[in-house]
A = this chain, B = another copy of it.
Amino acid sequence: MEDLVIGIDIGGTKIAAGLLDRQGNLVARALSHSHAGCPPEQVIEAVVQTVSSLLSSARVSRERIVGVGVGCAGHINCDCGIVLTNSNLPDWNYHPLRETLGKRLGLPVLVDNDANCAAWGEFRYGAGRGSRHMCYITFSTGCGMGIIIDGKLYRGATGTAGEIGHTVVNPDGPLCSCGKRGCLMSYACGIALDQMARDCLECGEDTLLRTLCGDNPEKVQAEKIAEAALQGDPIANRLLATAGRYFGIGLSTVVQVLNPDTIVIGGGLAHIGPLLLEPCVQALNENIHPVLVNTVRIVFSELWNDAGVIGAGALIWEMP
């Protein structure tokens, strides 16, 4: 009896796996450490081991598994099952992950972008339930989006739709990790926040961050910035306001171009709360036509860290 699916989330810091039933319940989980920078063979080996330990710990036989859905960052062509690009896995360009992993596991495999998987998870079992046109946006280390249109995951012509993080919000803005200038992600994500904070420290600005992070600017992280801001540090507050403002501008692009009924916000930075989100909502409303204000329900993720695993697994049920 094939009644379960497996969802995998290959992240920059860990590989998370989950066993999922028809109702979207995670009946078992497994985790293994990061393989950032490793060649495909090593990561695939780790995924195979994680699936084995998931099945054995849950005492579930392989015969019950319909398939394995895999989410990972970057440009993924789901139709072909190919990882086109992935900044955590730079040697993976054009690797046929669906084929190689499918052979190793002896199970049908589906590969999709991690934000697409999380969007599908939230749409089917989380904060997007009942919506029709939904966008899921991560406000995290990076900034990604998954799009649901008419109740279906919208991937675009080559599987790369939803790249909101690299839309240009200021062509003369700061350098983004992608090499372009002024991408949304050069302002509104964890990487950008860290960079802005390091720039402030290097410029000798008087901020609590110096105390919280010591002399090592590599230790600057969004959590420290939030901590400093909560303690009233004006520099840290300004950084959060900048990131929040640009995230709101990104939301205004989404609202104007896609006019969704629901936007689900996920990702670790969302937990920072009002210091980041108030400037975000203000910028959203300032940057859309008044007739569009309040046309979209903006809600937080319900599945949070599990959204990717649940969505990746649940996409298996949608396979033709």
Contact = CB atoms under 8 A, between A and B. Distances in A.
A52 to B, nearest CB: 33
Contacts of A67: none
A153 to B, nearest CB: 12
Contacts of A241: none
Given A85-B289, A257-B163, A258-B257, A158 B252 contact: no
A29 B271 CA distance: 59
A31 interface: no
Given A157-B295, A259-B161, A287-B180, A169 B169 contact: yes
Nearest to A75: B291
Interface in A161-176: 161-164, 166-172
Given A166-B289, A167-B252, A178-B289, A295 B257 contact: no
A62 interface: no
A166 B255 CA distance: 11
> Interface of chain A, helix or strand or loop or mixed?
loop
Interface string A130-153: 001100000000000100011000
Contacts of A18: none
Nearest to A173: B170
User: Which of A75, A169, A180, A257 has the most chain B CB atoms inside 10 A of its CB?
Assistant: A257
A253 interface: yes
B168 A156 contact: no
A131 B260 CA distance: 23
B289 A167 contact: no
Contacts of A154: 149
User: Which of A157, A178, A261, A287 has the most chain B CB atoms inside 10 A of its CB?
Assistant: A157
B155 A257 contact: no
Contacts of A288: 166
Nearest to A165: B256
User: Which of A154, A246, A254, A258 has the most chain B CB atoms inside 10 A of its CB?
Assistant: A258
Contacts of A168: 169, 249, 252-253, 287
Given A85-B289, A163-B257, A170-B171, 8 more contacts: A75-B292, A162-B257, A163-B256, A163-B259, A164-B257, A168-B169, A171-B287, A257-B258
Nearest 9 CB-CB pairings of A with B: A156-B259, A157-B261, A163-B256, A161-B259, A167-B253, A158-B295, A160-B259, A84-B291, A75-B291
